[in-house]
Amino acid sequence: MSQQNTDDVARYRSVVSAEGLTKVYGSGDTAVRALDDVYVTFERGRFTAIMGPSGSGKSTLLHCLAGLDTATEGRVFLGGTDLTELDDTELTLLRRRRIGFVFQSFNLLPVLTAEQNITLPLELASTRVDRAQLEEIATRLGIADRLGHRPSELSGGQQQRVAIARALLPAPDVVVADEPTGNLDSRSGAEVLDLLRSSVQELGQSVLMVTHDPVAASYADRVVLLADGRVTDEIVDPTPESVLASLGRIDLRRGSRSGRPAEVA
């Protein structure tokens, strides 16, 4: 098999991958290299956390992988689709049909009910809503009796469940979650992480999550660690302790290079 064919097979087997991904903001003396020649692959049907110190490029990586930001150099593949070859309209359609989004802010429309918020992406795509699937997801997420309520009538945890249901209903290739527990108390946050975990185990969903919390990362199958815009390490079957130790090693290396005292991120 040729190298080209081997690369194509690997891309199809992965849910998302980046090859030589570089992202630079600004130019000249003010240029900031947020991502620096990143090669990384994320497996289908797995829960992966992306972590790193502040400014490491983790959110930029997630946004480039999800087609929310464009690469300066390199390529991003969603399955076999090269996102860097798509125009704005094509990217919008791809995000709507193949990527689910869960953010720290719930991004629910206050005038719509929970059900209307959940089905909105499908309505915008002129796609029929599978009522049985909607009911199953709402039941799994514990919001079946809250579908007629508006966001102001829901707790923070319930609002994030609605956001997760909205992400899951179209059966996307991947769900990307950017600090999904950041606005929640510890109990609600743990419930949301359990739901993301169960979507992988029970529904076969693929999830990519950016987090700064070692406990949140321990819900994942794998943690990818970034520093200074590059992938520096990964952890399989993470625990809070193993994540903290890896973050500490990153900070020690950065402190050694800069000459400043090391601090655990």
Stretches in the chain below the pLDDT threshold 50: 6, 260-265
223: helix, coil or strand?
A: strand
Which one-letter amino acid corresponds to residue 118?
Answer: I
Residue 249, classified by CB atoms within 10 Å of its CB into exposed (0-12), middle (13-18) or buried (19+), is middle
Q: What's residue 264's pLDDT? A: 33
* Residue 265 within a domain: no
Is the Cβ–Cβ distance between 197 and 213 less than 8 Å? no
Q: What's residue 259's pLDDT? A: 52
* Residue 200 within a domain: yes
Q: Which two tokens stand for residue 79?
A: 């399955």
Q: What's residue 212's pLDDT? A: 94
Order across the sheet with 81-82: list the strands: 32-43, 14-25, 73-78, 81-82
Q: Report the DSSP beta bridge partners of residue 223.
A: 49, 235
What b/e string do you get for 166-183 counting C-beta neighbours within 10 Å, with b at 16 or more? bbbbbebbbbbbbbbbbb
Domain that holds residue 159: 3-258
The CATH number of the domain where 234 resides is what?
A: 3.40.50.300
* Residue 263 within a domain: no
Q: What's residue 141's pLDDT? A: 92
Residue whose C-alpha is closest to residue 75's, from 47, 115, 41, 104 = 41
Q: What's residue 251's pLDDT? A: 76
248: helix, coil or strand?
A: helix
Question: What is the rounded distance in angstroms from the CA atom of residue 102 to the CA atom of residue 8?
Answer: 29
Q: What's residue 134's pLDDT? A: 95
Q: How many domains does the chain have?
A: 1
**From the DSSP assignment, how many helices (H) and strands (E) are in the chain?**
9, 10
* Residue 49 within a domain: yes
Q: What's residue 101's pLDDT? A: 95
Which one-letter amino acid corresponds to residue 165?
Answer: A
Q: What's residue 4's pLDDT? A: 54
* Residue 133 within a domain: yes
* Residue 16 within a domain: yes
* Residue 201 within a domain: yes
* Residue 62 within a domain: yes
Rg from Cα positions in the chain: 19
